[in-house]
Amino acid sequence: MIQYLEIALGQAKRQHDNPLYAKDMIDVAKQAIADLSNCQLVSLYEAYSSGDSKSFEIAAKSLSDCVSQMDGLLRTVKEYQIASIIENARTLPGVTPGDMKIVENSLKDPVFTFVNTFAKDPNPMMIDYQRKDMLELWKVYYGPRVETYISYLRENLSKNIRAIDENELLRRYALVQQSWMENPIPTVDVHNSCDASISAVRSCVSWLKDETTRLALAPKSQLQNGGFEEGSLSGWQKAVTNVNVEVRTTPDPSSNVYTLFFTTIPPASGDHSFSLGQSIQAQP
C-alpha cells in the first residue's frame, strides 16, 4: 500500500484538483493505518502477556500514533465528518433547534453507533457493529477507547497481572460510550480540500515508512493468535484436518490442465461446506 501511495502521489500535480483522486488516496492510507494498527495490537498483547514492558510501550506509542494519523486524514474530507451532515440538516427549511437535537442524538445512535440500542445486549460487540471512520467518532469515541485499552493493560502490567478482566474493561469502555451519548458532538477544525488531502497522505506515507522501518516489520513465519493457548495452533489445525484436497482433470485430457480443489468436509447437517479451486497447467 505504501508503494501504491507513493506512485499515486507522483500524479499530485496533475490531479491536485480531482476530489476522487484525493479521496482514493485517503481511503488507501486509512487501510494502511488499519493494517499497521492490527499488527501493533498483536504486538501489544504479546508484550503484555510476556511482561515485556519495553516492547509494550513501543507498541502502545505506535497505536496512539495510528489514531493521530487517522485524525489527520479525516480532517481533509467532508464525507468523513459528522459536522457536514449536521450543517446540511440545519439548512433544511423549517428546522428548529429541537429538530437539530433529535438529529444529533440520532447520529450518535443508531446512525454511527448502537450504544443505547444494544446497551443491554449480551454481545457488546454489537455496539460497534457499524464501524464508520468519521472524524468526530475518532476524536471522542474510538481514540479514547484505544487509550482506555492501553491504559488498562499498562495498569495490569505494572501490577504483574496477566489476565484480562473483560467486565472491568467493558466498564471502562462504557464510560467512553456514555460520554459520547451525553456530550455534544465536538466541533473540530477541518481543512477540506484536495491539496490538504494530498498533504495529509504525503505526511502519512512518510510516517508509515519510518514506522515500519523503526519497528522492523516483516512477515512472520508462523501464525500467532492471542485467542489460542500460548504455543498452540490447535484451533487452526482442526480447520486444516477438515479439508479435502482433490485434483480434477478437465473434460479434455489432452489439454494437460488440472484443477486443484480445497474442499471442507461438511458436518453431519450438511451445512457450511466450502470449496476453492485453482487451475494449473501441466508442463510438457
- DSSP state letters, 2-52: HHHHHHHHTTHHHHTT-HHHHHHHHHHHHHHHHHHHHHHHHHHHHHHHHT-
pLDDT at residue 136 in the model: 97
Statement: residue 48 has pLDDT above 50: yes
Q: How confident is the model at residue 7 (pLDDT cuts 50, 70, 90)?
A: very high
Percentage of residues in the chain with pLDDT exceeding 70?
Answer: 75
Say what angle helices 19-50 and 143-158 make with each other, to 10 degrees. 10
pLDDT at residue 228 in the model: 44
Q: How confident is the model at residue 215 (pLDDT cuts 50, 70, 90)?
A: confident
pLDDT at residue 233 in the model: 43
Q: How confident is the model at residue 248 (pLDDT cuts 50, 70, 90)?
A: low
Least confident of 79-88, 136-145, 259-268: 259-268
Q: What is the mean pLDDT of residues 13-17?
A: 93
Q: Which residue has the higher pLDDT, 172 or 222?
A: 172
Query: Quick check: 220 and 244 in contact, CB under 8 A?
Result: no
pLDDT at residue 32 in the model: 94
pLDDT at residue 226 in the model: 46
